[in-house]
A and B are shown apart, each in its own frame.
Chain A
């Protein structure tokens, strides 16, 4: 709130769009407070549950603080406790290879995103800076591909990965996204189209090849957008569930974190999940995204906003 007021003070121009009456001010700031609360509270509740002892959760369900504070939830989900100790703590006795799943998610998200953004940038260059017959028709294919629903392609792509013998491998999970995504090409092409053509012409006259122009002019100029795309795609692959579930859930070497958490939840011999362990796992899984938000929040907010306005 204070930030908002400071800003408004510095930019009096904005006062035209700002509320006039006292009543609407009270209404507005109350609504904003409720909104922030509704958004943050469930995330706090994850932490509160994760630090509680599973067995005693029921004794004080309304307590805002952890019930019988313990690191046990984290210990269980990370596999740091022996099964007996985990059971004594109120765990389900189930464990997952958390570190391995976390690593798998990191590999899948990082490799897919880096490779995809690189090749998509190259294609976007061909579809924006270079000129040849049929260029826009080829690009139109990618636009059509963007409208095809994911579930429709999951079935035949699963069969393809199976035919290639890549089920239950990380490569099988990553393969469809390594060379391009229609969205990435579409996104970058828009920015490349805005490149000042006279710079490119000048570089051509000086004898620079298109590879050099791509690497030393177009990509550096669009670097903020490329970073934005990298962040957006990383979030997407980190959170993806359906595809890595069917392609990779058969072996720990190819199970990503989202899939692993689903497995952990369904391991409930006593009928009720190990809530503390589950929330501890969920929290660690969300941690990279929360950190990303703290480090690059401004950038992410800006990129989401710019992704909507064409």
Chain B
């Protein structure tokens, strides 16, 4: 051992003992607040646990109950509706904004303004839009009324989920478009020059050059936005709180109401395990489908 250390370059020597104090706090944090709770969360999913008495192991009962629970299918339906609307609209809008920013302005001020809503918390954004869309006094309905049209209910059992999806598009579109904007900047200028020489128009250039070259960035953006979107909580909690009836009772809200409303932590854990598995599958499928990380630039 000693001979080896002398013979080899210093870089080959193990820094393990030095590394311990550097990484120990983080490893303790990871163990106590991620790894052990993760195991505990999976364990609780197989128990009946009311928080006050010790958990009782009940095997797969929670999962059997879950798949028979109409509220589970409701949560799956409304969460999916939210994700599809939110991600669908947000991705198209953000892509449009990113191209706008890229082609019409290099101003950091404009990018700063567009990013602004992202810095404001979900809670505040939800409150502002809840006020703007209020049926009686809200500005939007006042304008509709002024134009002589019938007022619109933004938070009833049909409209509430799309409304909340759009509110969050407003908050996230700037952030997402900045991520895409960074990807646009990475596309070499000469590609566009070549397209211009060939006489390609705006739309043609976008479809045949920008979009394909943007694929790795879009894949990355979609993975993080979809994962976040599935966990929607704040905006719903502050506006409709799951209602009317269960029209906006998305997974996170349903899990929270099972845990802190019914004190059924075992069942709530089972639902959150399902949500985690679902999210892993979605992320896995996405990276496969979009072939993330592979750029057409390298072909």
Interface residues of A (CB under 8 A from B): 1, 3-4, 7-8, 11, 13-14, 16-21, 24-25, 28-29, 31-32, 35-36, 38-40, 42-43, 45-46, 49, 57-58, 61-62, 119-120, 122-123, 125-127, 130-133, 135, 138, 141-142, 145, 147-153, 155-160, 175-176, 178-180, 182, 185, 197, 201, 204, 210, 214, 235, 238-242, 245-246, 258, 261-262, 265, 272, 275, 278-279, 282, 285-286, 289-290, 292-293, 297-298, 300-301, 304-310
Contact B193 A258 (CB under 8 A): no
Contact B127 A298 (CB under 8 A): no
Cβ of B245: which chain A residues have Cβ within 8 Å of it?
Answer: none
Contact B116 A293 (CB under 8 A): yes
Is B68's CB within 8 Å of the partner chain A? no
Contact B110 A32 (CB under 8 A): yes
Cβ of A246: which chain B residues have Cβ within 8 Å of it?
Answer: 256, 260
* A152 to B14 CA separation, bound complex (whole angstroms): 37
Contact A127 B23 (CB under 8 A): yes
Cβ of A120: which chain B residues have Cβ within 8 Å of it?
Answer: 26
* A71 to B200 CA separation, bound complex (whole angstroms): 57
Min CB distance, B141 to chain A, in Å?
A: 8
Cβ of A275: which chain B residues have Cβ within 8 Å of it?
Answer: 131, 134, 137
Contact A238 B121 (CB under 8 A): yes
Contact A308 B220 (CB under 8 A): yes
Q: Which 6 A-B pairs have the closest CB atoms?
A: A179-B29, A239-B121, A123-B26, A308-B179, A156-B37, A4-B105
Contact A279 B131 (CB under 8 A): yes
Q: With A130-B19, A152-B275, A275-B131 given, is the CB distance from A180 to B121 under 8 Å?
A: no
Chain A binding surface, main DSSP class: helix
Contact B142 A62 (CB under 8 A): yes
Cβ of B80: which chain A residues have Cβ within 8 Å of it?
Answer: none
Contact A151 B131 (CB under 8 A): no
Is B89's CB within 8 Å of the partner chain A? no
* A301 to B113 CA separation, bound complex (whole angstroms): 10
Contact B252 A151 (CB under 8 A): yes
Is B283's CB within 8 Å of the partner chain A? yes
Contact A157 B33 (CB under 8 A): yes
